[in-house]
Amino acid sequence: MKTITKTAIAALLGVAFVGEAVAVEWNVSLWGKRRAFTEHVERLAELVNEKTDGEFTLNLSYGGLSNNRENLDGISIGAFEMAQFCAGYHADKNPSITVLELPFLGVSSLEEEIEVSMAVYNHPATQKDLGRWNATLLMPSPLPQYNFVGVGDAPRTLEDFEGLSVRATGGIGRAMETLGAVPNSMSATEVRQALDSGVVKAVAFAPHAHMSFGTIESGDWWTTNMNPGTVNCPVVANTDALNSLSDAHREALMSSIPESLQHYVDNYNNNTMEKWGPALDERGIERITYTDAELDEFRSAAGSIAQNWVEENKAKGLPAEELLDLVNSTLAN
């Protein structure tokens, strides 16, 4: 019988021995380019590398490993060890976390978005839901409320959205339907071409994405205060890969999450938002602001969306009302 050497075992397992230590490399599937939306993952990679003296590294790939709509599938088969995805890209695959994409939840800060997301992520039903994909939820990618950048005639009243084709995913899309808009749930990387070609007339994004994906290069107007909701885009690990880490490497990863999220929040609040106003001014983009009465009517019209979500997902066996109550109680506290 042949002797299997350490080197051969390392090759089989995708790791390399350095002395008596095991050097582990994880591939991380992202998309687009480095931006505010990925700063927590960038910081996580730095911290893990520092804490393990280079024994555990995260190799970040912006689109080189998978299509953004297929990142959860890639995690499920172990094509890579970590990934970021957005719940609204495939609500049927992750119904539990779509509760966080319902409109008008009342989240007012990135810190609140983190807290309510983690409450839902830690719920047993959510963990079971993502467990179907061999995925363990690590942390959210907290985003502020979405608003629209659009081309052509500006919708000076909310009634002007009637018949307008818009890029809006998840609960935001459902909310826009109550105004008579026609939502399209295309991914972020498809948006600029769709806006330029006229497939959509307006795009709902957080400020960083409007800058990163170029909608403000084409846009004529921006809604300042619709605030219909946001999307939820978690970072997940392949559960088998996570469980196979040594105690030291797992501790280095998990203990770095709070600092990575704080770095993300600080960068978004102090960097991205400082650039947003000047970026609009430089391009002559008109700001459209709606009255409180209009917005109250909008929220009232969209009020049934949450209850419809509960009924739809209860029928699928999800404790939907419990998850929605968890969101509301977390925000209330």
Pairing between β-strand 147-150 and β-strand 135-139 as defined by DSSP bridges:
unpaired
CA distance 293 to 84: 38
pLDDT tens for each residue of 216-258:
999 999 999 999 999 999 999 999 999 999 999 999 999 999 9
Task: For the domain covering 147-230+275-303, report its CATH number.
Answer: 3.40.190.170
Residue 21 pLDDT class (50, 70, 90 cuts): low
H or E stretch covering 254: helix 247-254
Report pLDDT for 4: 39
Residue 333 pLDDT class (50, 70, 90 cuts): confident
Domains 6-141+232-271 and 147-230+275-303 belong to one CATH topology: yes
Separation in Å, CA 146 to CA 1, 162, 223, 263 = 63, 19, 9, 21
Exposure string (b/e) for 187-226, b if CB count within 10 Å is 16 or more? Answer: bbebbeebbeeeebbbbbbbbbbbbbbbbbeebbbbbeeb
Domain ranges of the chain: 6-141+232-271, 147-230+275-303
Contacts of 80 (CB under 8 A, 6+ apart): 26, 27, 28, 29, 61, 65, 66, 74, 238
> How many percent of the chain have pLDDT more than 90?
90
Question: How large is the average pLDDT for residues 7-25?
Answer: 55
* Amino acid, single-letter form, for residue 314: K
Query: What is the pTM for the complete model shown?
Result: 0.88
Report pLDDT for 277: 95
CATH class of 6-141+232-271: alpha beta
In the 8-state DSSP scheme, what is residue 84?
A: E
Report pLDDT for 154: 97
CA distance 140 to 319: 21
Indicate whether 143 pLDDT > 50: yes
Report pLDDT for 324: 97
CA distance 257 to 251: 10
Contacts of 186 (CB under 8 A, 6+ apart): 167, 194, 200
Question: How large is the average pLDDT for residues 278-301?
Answer: 96
Report pLDDT for 22: 76
Question: How large is the average pLDDT for residues 88-110?
Answer: 95
Question: How large is the average pLDDT for residues 169-187?
Answer: 93
Q: What is the CA radius of gyration of the chain?
A: 21
What mean pLDDT value characterizes the chain?
93
